[in-house]
Amino acid sequence: MNKILDYIAEETGGTSYKTFKYSFEGIAVPSIDYDDNQEIALARQYIGETDRGLTTSKSLHEKSIQIKKNNKPIFRYFLDGSRRTYKVDDIAFNERIYPIIAGQIGVGCCERKSPSQFQKAALNKRNVLVLPDCADKDGDDVLFYNNLKKKINKIGIVEKHGIQIDKILSYEDKALKEGEKYEHKGIAKIQDEMIEEEKELVIRLVEQGKLTYDDYLLKDGSLEYKDVKKYSYRELSKIRSNYRCVVGASKMFNPELCKDKNKKNIAKKIAELPLYHRTPAFRYTNERASDVAFSIWYLRIRKIDRTIGPFDGILKVEKILVTEHEQEHGIDSDEIDLISANLINERCPTCYGHDSRWANHLYPVYLTERFIKSNYLGETLFLSLF
């Protein structure tokens, strides 16, 4: 029975080498440059909250206790995106050999119905393939890959298992610079597709009227997205509006990018944040989209003497400045305190030792991640299609 790789080689005119198939999970790949690339200057004009006099860290411990007593958390929805990537073959075009990358993408959202009950709010799953640009022998780009996808999904082994390829992407096939790998370009394309799925899910929740000031969405990772320059001012305004009740919390961030007004690094100050304290909020605008501004602050949720690294137990928290008042004055400091206190209460109480990121885990986000990964196809089955 012919498999996907046989068909790709036949349709694109490439030479398949039937190389060893493997998962990239656990293999070092370059970090994605759009999750944490903010270079934040802590000058006075870049203050991201209404309390202009806050210059030191602030404790949210008492506020978090009060919220817990009242049992009124502001976060109801929890969103995460995940992907598994595989090298499934090498294929030759024009005397050069390129990898074929496959991936499973999962973007999910869980809803908290009660303190002890969570349920699925949404789950988007996508199986994708990434080929080099030169695989498109007709030069039709989207049309060619859509037709190829339709034909692949009619192959016997694919139909037999009731599985389909949802999208075929392509990466640049030009000669590599020193240190570059085509594998990394393919993985980055899958990462980009996952980010697009996250944005679409947020839009859907907004259109359904589910996100309000009483029911926030907590997203795992940064709210800053790549290639926002392609949007018009009107589209950017809509994006801002969609994220009115969305908070991003990054478990991993680069503290070297945060500097004070004299351009001196403040990584040490972030690392030495006392337990349950937050930094002042800082206003940040990306040069790729000057019309979208963020308020960013750091929050410690774990004792430093219980962790193995100086930044374990610290979250980087983000919220988009939506209204004109927020863009001029920053987010209301009371709202930042409320968000921070709620994040303290969301920290994961049970996964010590199970995951190396345990100190930065927020329990509902951790549950959402586990839910998404439980819906992946088994590696043996997925790779058998190729």
Q: Over the stretch 354-367, which tens digit does the pLDDT of each residue have?
A: 677 788 889 999 99
Contact status, residue 183 vs residue 99, Cβ threshold 8 Å? yes
- Which long-range CB contacts under 8 A does 382-385 form with residues at least 24 apart? 382/86, 382/102, 382/104, 382/127, 382/163, 383/21, 383/86, 383/88, 384/157, 385/3, 385/4, 385/157, 385/158, 385/161, 385/163
Across 141-155, 224-238, 355-369, least confident range: 224-238
Across 6-20, 150-164, 282-296, least confident range: 282-296
Contact status, residue 368 vs residue 80, Cβ threshold 8 Å? yes
- Average pLDDT of the segment spanning 377-381: 93
As given in the structure block, the two tokens for residue 323 are: 């209204």
Question: Are β-strands 117-132 and 258-260 bridged in parallel, bridged antiparallel, or unpaired?
Answer: unpaired
pTM (global) more than 0.95: no
Residue 237 confidence (pLDDT) above 90: no
Residue 288 confidence (pLDDT) above 70: no
Residue 27 confidence (pLDDT) above 60: no
Greatest CA separation found in the chain? 71
Nearest residue to 102 via CA among 163, 31, 33: 163
The DSSP annotation for 91-114 comes to EEETTEEEEEEEEEEEEEEEEEEE
**First and final CA of the chain: distance in angstroms?**
11
Alpha-carbon distance 102 to 130, whole Å? 6
The pLDDT confidence band at residue 352, using thresholds 50, 70 and 90, is low
Alpha-carbon distance 142 to 123, whole Å? 25
Q: What is the residue-averaged pLDDT of the chain?
A: 86
Angle at 373 between CA 368 and CA 377, to 5 degrees: 150
As given in the structure block, the two tokens for residue 300 are: 């410690």
Residue 255 confidence (pLDDT) above 90: no
As given in the structure block, the two tokens for residue 273 are: 């944040």
Helix axes 142-152, 4-12, angle to 10 degrees: 140
Give the whole-number percent of the chain exceeding pLDDT 90. 60
List, for residues 209-226, the tens digit of each pLDDT value: 999 999 999 999 988 766
Q: How far lies 21's CA from each of 132, 166, 237, 264, in Å?
A: 18, 20, 44, 47
Alpha-carbon distance 128 to 192, whole Å? 12
Collapsing DSSP states into helix, strand and coil, what is residue 122?
A: strand
- Average pLDDT of the segment spanning 134-151: 86
List, for residues 155-209, the tens digit of each pLDDT value: 999 999 999 999 999 999 998 998 899 999 999 999 999 999 999 999 999 999 9
Only one residue has tokens 């196809």, namely 377
Give the whole-number percent of the chain exceeding pLDDT 70. 86
pLDDT value of position 344? 96
Residue 65 confidence (pLDDT) above 80: yes
Across 12-21, 69-78, 261-270, 316-325, least confident range: 261-270
Alpha-carbon distance 103 to 5, whole Å? 14
pLDDT value of position 240? 80
Q: Which residue has the higher pLDDT, 254 or 249?
A: 249
Residue 33 confidence (pLDDT) above 80: no
pLDDT value of position 71? 87
Angle at 9 between CA 8 and CA 10, to 5 degrees: 90
Alpha-carbon distance 54 to 48, whole Å? 11
Nearest residue to 344 via CA among 332, 328, 362: 362
**Domain map (residue ranges) of the chain:** 35-74+213-347
The pLDDT confidence band at residue 228, using thresholds 50, 70 and 90, is low
Residue 277 confidence (pLDDT) above 60: yes
Contact status, residue 240 vs residue 148, Cβ threshold 8 Å? no
Question: Are β-strands 246-250 and 216-220 bridged in parallel, bridged antiparallel, or unpaired?
Answer: parallel
- Average pLDDT of the segment spanning 4-16: 92
List, for residues 83-117, the tens digit of each pLDDT value: 999 999 999 998 899 999 999 999 999 999 887 78
